[in-house]
Amino acid sequence: FLIASWTRFVSSLHKRTLDIMAWCEWWITDDCCGVFCGMTTNLLLSFAAFVQTYFVLGPWWGYLHPITLFYIGLSLMAALCHARTQFTNPGAVPLDNENLIDLENQQLTTSNDRRYCRTCQQYKPHEAHHCSTCHRCVIRMDHHCPWVNNCVAMFNQKYFVLFCFYTSLCCLFCITSLITRFLICQSKRPGNTSMSLDGKHLSHSEVVAGPMGAPPPPHDAHMDNWCKGDGMDVMFCIINLFEGILFGLFTMIMSCDQISSILSSITYIDSLTMNKKQLQKRKKQASSMDNLTFVFGEPFGIGWFLPKPLTPKIKENFNNLCMQF
């Protein structure tokens, strides 16, 4: 009920936005499945952060330890990049685009090659494709992703790549910390052997009583409590491990796919609609670094790893593409 009500509200807001203004940087997609998937993504990120902070990293290292804070920072970056991807206009062609055309400077093909969009009721620029979910023609559209409830296209592809990148790092971190906890706690179980300073294997009883009658080592009650764990602790950590493996693989594959798409300057939809000759021509138009700079909106630097606002350069490139038919 809440999702349906939210979807109806978003739909009415989205339609009013389309009527009032031709283009806006912020964006809301009124897709029920997308709203659910977007909320699920945020819940999974929050769940992983809770498990790692409360059950694993906090009791192990301390809640204010740099390692704990580092993971929390990764989680916040993933959530922020997800929000930027979801609520940023992906590059929708303005509904009054034809009124903004400079007839002297625009790049036109023959009139027979111009594509008319019946939904938007205007001609589509050369690199635009219509999204039936967003109800708009979008420049450099790669695909519509339900997990971010938005198209992945010219304006938010950088944010989507960063979201996949930081999420994959979070998943890798979760898998590593959980496996490390398991190995440490396994080594403390009775019957397991430990190594003495002279290289001899010691039994659990010798570790407790001390080898050769030596006084026993100090007992670490803190680590014992961390290893015991109650039923909820174990269940949450198991869920977190499977979550890390599943979504870690998914986001790593998506990251590699998106980087490959950017380097070749060929979107997923282009690979389906273009013939082999057109694809080869597109690949040779610019170098890999130029293509990366085009998508990230600025030369290589720290800004590539931050979900910064849209740069003037990428807006300029967008306006130029809107004029090409």
Q: What token pair was written down for 222?
A: 């803190």
pLDDT tens digits for 111-129? 456 788 888 888 899 889 9
133-147 pLDDT per residue, tens: 988 999 999 999 999
Condensed to tens digits (0 to 9), the pLDDT of residues 257-307 reads 999 999 988 899 888 888 787 778 777 778 889 999 999 999 999 999 999
What is the structure's pLDDT at 5?
Answer: 53
pTM metric for this prediction: 0.82
Q: Give the distance, in angstroms, between the CA of residue 159 and the centroid of all CA atoms in the same chain.
A: 7
Q: 15 CB contacts (<8 Å, ≥6 apart)?
A: none
Q: DSSP alpha helices (H): ranges in the chain?
A: 2-20, 32-51, 58-61, 66-87, 157-187, 204-209, 221-228, 231-264, 268-273, 276-283, 288-296, 312-322
Neighbour count for residue 246 (Cβ, 10 Å): 12
Q: What confidence score (pLDDT) does residue 209 get? A: 44
Write down the mean pLDDT value for the chain. Answer: 82
Q: Long-range contacts: 286-292, Cβ < 8 Å, 24+?
A: 288/263, 291/262, 291/263, 291/264, 291/265, 292/262, 292/263
**164: pLDDT strictly greater than 90:** yes
pLDDT score for 214: 45
Q: Which pair of structure tokens corresponds to residue 223?
A: 């680590």
> For residues 34 and 133, is the Cβ–Cβ distance under 8 A?
yes
The arithmetic mean of pLDDT across residues 81-96, rounded, is 93
Range name among 192-196, 215-219, 240-244 with the lowest pLDDT average: 215-219
Distance in angstroms (rounded) separating the CA atoms of residues 192 and 38:
45
Residue 258: CB atoms within 10 A of its CB come to 22
Q: Which residue has the higher pLDDT, 278 or 63?
A: 63
